[in-house]
């Protein structure tokens, strides 16, 4: 009897642990909306549990996509990070500049933000999830639309482009792929008002956080399942391209920069636009380190960085003058720009 009681107690404790872990996984990426400002989440570090764990495994466990985890850990092996290796989890985000309602998708950072409706007395919140988007030549469309229908266990009808590519390979594409493990839509699909575009699950989760689809928005299976029943038809969907997001933290301007889609680097016009937005944010009159801002645009690491005040005048090398002098000149002349 004592053995049975002990086994039962152990089973209940284990069940409680599993349920707690599942609850943590469900609520990861859920944040109350900040009372002031537009910054949510935190950056933290974890240790690799064992030799079998990959960086992609860790990304999925911590609500991140492929590019996010790789950018944050450039010196860590993707497939064999090694037991005990410390991994940075970039879980801090600046909210996109968009109406905080329904779904907001920022393709530049490959991330979706969901603002669920809340009842009286409930705290307004935001949920954020990594996504996959259209690869080059199959760009995900920008603009405002809405959800039209939610379909569980959808069938996939390969478009003409897929069938044409199959014929070019000497293969024959099926006219329909039924629900199941071979269906690229996964088990859940949310149809958008943009003709032919969906938010859906996937049978290839390693592609989350990459440009890998034909224009649709892919989510981890567990992520789309978590919002599927809470996104009614008619929910507004805003798809934006904001590679540079700005915010305020402890009174200092914050910048989060991602690489521009389809381009190698941000150009001079990007810097000018960022300076204008910083002025609108309230940093006008504050002398910022424009050289630092230029370096952040060059790096495009996706990490949130606080802009420093301009350093005191000190002699600099000719190389630094050549590289950043034009930025400073543009920055100061930008104060006189007309709106």
Helix and strand counts by DSSP (H, E) for the chain = 8, 15
Burial classification of residue 85, based on how many CB atoms lie within 10 Å of its CB (0-12 exposed, 13-18 middle, 19 or more buried): middle
- Residue where the block lists tokens 């938010």: 199
Q: H helices of 114-266, where?
A: 160-168, 221-228
Closest CA to 275 of 259, 264, 287, 263: 287
Closest CA to 237 of 207, 199, 185: 199
How many angstroms separate the CA atoms of 212 and 209, rounded? 9
> Which residues are identified as catalytic?
200, 216
Burial classification of residue 311, based on how many CB atoms lie within 10 Å of its CB (0-12 exposed, 13-18 middle, 19 or more buried): exposed
How many angstroms separate the CA atoms of 290 and 260, rounded? 20
How many angstroms separate the CA atoms of 229 and 211, rounded? 26
Closest CA to 39 of 5, 90, 82, 74: 90
């Amino acid at each position: 009897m004592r053995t049975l009681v002990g086994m039962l107690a152990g089973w209940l404790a284990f069940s409680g642990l599993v349920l707690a872990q599942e609850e943590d996984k469900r609520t990861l990426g859920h944040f109350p909306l900040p009372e002031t400002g537009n910054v949510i989440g935190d950056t933290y570090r974890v240790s690799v549990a064992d030799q079998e764990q990959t960086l992609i495994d860790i990304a999925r466990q911590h609500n991140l996509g492929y590019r996010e985890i790789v950018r944050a850990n450039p010196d860590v092996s993707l497939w064999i990070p090694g037991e005990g290796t410390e991994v940075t989890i970039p879980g801090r985000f600046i909210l996109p500049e968009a109406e905080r309602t329904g779904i907001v998708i920022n393709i530049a950072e490959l991330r979706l933000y969901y603002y669920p409706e809340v009842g009286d007395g409930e705290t307004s919140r935001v949920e954020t999830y990594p996504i996959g988007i259209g690869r080059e030549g199959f760009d995900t469309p920008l603009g405002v639309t809405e959800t039209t229908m939610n379909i569980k266990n959808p069938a996939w009808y390969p478009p003409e482009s897929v069938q044409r590519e199959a014929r070019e390979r000497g293969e024959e594409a099926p006219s329909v792929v039924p629900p199941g493990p071979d269906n690229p839509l996964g088990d859940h699909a949310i149809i958008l008002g943009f003709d032919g575009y969906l938010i859906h699950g996937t049978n290839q989760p390693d592609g989350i956080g990459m440009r890998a689809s034909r224009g649709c928005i892919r989510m981890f299976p567990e992520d789309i399942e978590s919002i599927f029943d809470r996104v009614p038809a008619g929910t507004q969907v805003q798809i934006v391209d904001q590679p540079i997001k700005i915010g305020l933290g402890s009174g200092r301007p914050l910048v989060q920069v991602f690489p521009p889609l389809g381009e190698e680097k941000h150009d001079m016009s990007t810097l000018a636009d960022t300076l204008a937005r910083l002025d609108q944010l309230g940093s006008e009159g504050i002398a910022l380190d424009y050289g630092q801002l230029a370096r952040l645009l060059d790096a495009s690491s996706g990490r949130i960085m606080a802009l420093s005040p301009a350093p005191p005048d000190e002699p600099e090398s000719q190389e630094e003058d050549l590289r950043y002098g034009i930025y400073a000149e543009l920055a100061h002349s930008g104060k006189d720009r007309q709106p």
